[in-house]
Amino acid sequence: MNEADRLRAAMRATESTAHAPLDLAAVVREGRRLRRRRRLAGTGAAGLVLAVAVAVPVALRPDGPPPQRPAEAITTGSVATPTTAPTASATPDARATPGSTDRKPVGTVVSSGIRYGDQERVFYFVPIGVPELPGVKIGLVAGRRDADGRLTPDLLINDVEGRDRHAGFHQIGYDQQGDRQVLPPVPTFGYFVGPATRIVGTVDGRQVPAELARWSVDPGVVIFWFEPTVLTPGVRLDGIVALDKRGERL
Amino acid sequence: MARADAEFVEFARAASGRLVHAAFLMTGDRHEAEDAAQTALARTYASWSRIHGDDAYRYARSVLVNHLVDRWRRPIREYPTEELPEQRDDDVADAVATRRWLFAILGTLSPRERAIVVLRYYFDLPEAQVADELGVSVGTVKSTSSRALEKLRGVGAEAPQVHGTRR
């Protein structure tokens, strides 16, 4: 028996008949929710979804530098168009509003070109401090910038383990509030550490390209987001890959 | 229940065991594996009207594996003790030894290598189909499989004998 045969046999021999059955009712509920969102996307009726903060409580470190000029996008992807009208104002749950804090951006505030009336979707890093996570010093915010330059953060994502600069993908931010349509939808976004020149997601069997911008503080950090016109906010990616300039997968 | 829903539930019941085990082989975590399988099946349900028969299984499998490769880029974290069905003591010892050997090997592989190994040797897919489902070239599948088997040779010298399967 060679290695492959031995491996094949071991994988099958370890199949357990004792695993708990999956909650298929929950599967169907979640599947219906996904289907609803896809249908909304198909009719162009992009839903407004409450954005929530990620994962771990973060301590404010308000000593970051002031906002800088927007970064240029790396890719030549399509210019975003408005996907929603200006939103109704609402006060989200305090747990879900990093915007209630006053973190200053670290480095460039990246313009996405996505507009909501007078506001524009932007992405920027902020300093964070989590005692349990000494390797995590930054988080990425999806926010909105008013015409006068004022920033309103909607969603903060940060690593919840390890280091914030390890090579590869980090946390990915999604709209998560389903039918609670309060704030402008946050495009799916995140960052990748490495020499990526293209990032491509897959969802529902199709490939969706991300827009990219390098972070001014560390060019090895690539901020990416998906245009709401190509990936409906809140719809989970089935996969995501980063490619270098030769088209090789990183 | 609508007919389509009934068909989906029947499909999900039949497919869930192998999907969970595949995810377990990739993560080493039973609960994470169940979550991943549940996610893959929910996405399959969402697309149920346009996928049928074998396509549904292929779709669910592809979603599951890509979900785990791309969202959980981290090493296998632990090799938990599974609840084993009642067996003779010798069988239990064999099963434990086999599981330890298997996860020692899988733990040396990257998430993408594990995905390729699971698709090639657990699902018995040809290289071209593995390449298609992971969105990589056939050459990548071949070279990655080769590297993975090299690693197996490195840690597999004391491989236990596997006496058949429980299928």
CATH of the domain at B94: 1.10.10.10
For residue A59, what pLDDT is reported? 34
For residue B164, what pLDDT is reported? 41
Residue A146, token pair as written in the block: 């008013």
Complex prediction ipTM:
0.76
CA A60 from chain centre, in angstroms, equals: 21
For residue B12, what pLDDT is reported? 92
B55 and B93 in a common domain:
no
Q: Which residues pair with residue A221 across a beta bridge?
A: A193
Chain A residues 145-184 with CB within 8 Å of chain B: 161-162, 168-169, 172
Q: For position B32, which CATH number holds?
A: 1.10.1740
Q: How much is the average pLDDT of B96-106?
A: 81
Mean pLDDT of chain A: 73
Query: Do the Cβ atoms of B156 and A18 come within 8 Å?
Result: no
User: Residue B92 pLDDT more than 80?
Assistant: no
Q: How much is the average pLDDT of B9-17?
A: 91
> Quick one: pLDDT band at residue B139, thresholds 50, 70, 90?
confident
User: Residue A72 pLDDT more than 60?
Assistant: no
Residue B103's domain comprises 89-155
User: Residue A97 pLDDT more than 50?
Assistant: no
Is the model more confident about B165 or about A104?
A104
B98 and B140 in a common domain:
yes
User: Residue B156 pLDDT more than 80?
Assistant: no
B134 and B107 in a common domain:
yes
For residue B48, what pLDDT is reported? 87
C-alpha to C-alpha distance for A204 and A173, rounded to whole angstroms: 18
User: Measuring CA to CA, how many Å separate B161 from each of A27, B91, B117?
Assistant: 38, 12, 20
B15 and B61 in a common domain:
yes
Q: Which of A7, A161, A205 sits opposite B117 (nearest CB)?
A: A7
Domain closes at, from B45, B71, B97: B71
Q: Which of A13, A20, A21 sits opposite B98 (nearest CB)?
A: A13
C-alpha to C-alpha distance for B111 and B64, rounded to whole angstroms: 13
B62 and B31 in a common domain:
yes
User: A89 CA to chain B: closest CA distance, Å?
Assistant: 32
CA B89 from chain centre, in angstroms, equals: 27
Query: Do the Cβ atoms of A16 and B84 come within 8 Å?
Result: yes
Residue A63, token pair as written in the block: 């000593």
CA A232 from chain centre, in angstroms, equals: 12
Count of structural domains within chain B: 2
Q: Which residues pair with residue A203 across a beta bridge?
A: A206
For residue B38, what pLDDT is reported? 92
| Of residues A50, A38, A119, A39, the one with CA closest to residue A85 | A119
C-alpha to C-alpha distance for B21 and A198, rounded to whole angstroms: 33
Decide if A115 contacts A82 (C-beta within 8 A): yes
Helix (H, G, I), strand (E, B) or coil at B151: helix
Query: Do the Cβ atoms of A22 and B164 come within 8 Å?
Result: no
The verdict on A72 touching B (C-beta cutoff 8 Å) is: no
Is the model more confident about B89 or about B137?
B137
Query: Do the Cβ atoms of A6 and B159 come within 8 Å?
Result: yes
In a domain, B122, yes or no: yes
In a domain, B162, yes or no: no
In a domain, B83, yes or no: no
C-alpha to C-alpha distance for B147 and B160, rounded to whole angstroms: 21
Cβ neighbours for B129, distance < 8 A, ≥ 6 positions apart: B119
B109 and B52 in a common domain:
no
What are the pLDDT digits (tens) for A109-121? 999 999 888 889 9
C-alpha to C-alpha distance for A143 and A128, rounded to whole angstroms: 16
Q: How many residues does chain A have?
A: 250
In a domain, B93, yes or no: yes
What are the pLDDT digits (tens) for A117-137? 888 999 999 998 877 788 889
A23 contacts in chain B (CB < 8 Å) = 38
CA angle A141, A145, A151 (to 5 degrees): 60
| Of residues B78, B119, B95, the one with CA closest to residue A16 | B95
C-alpha to C-alpha distance for B130 and B101, rounded to whole angstroms: 24
C-alpha to C-alpha distance for B107 and A235, rounded to whole angstroms: 31
Query: Do the Cβ atoms of A28 and B45 come within 8 Å?
Result: yes
For residue B50, what pLDDT is reported? 79
Is the model more confident about A197 or about A5?
A197
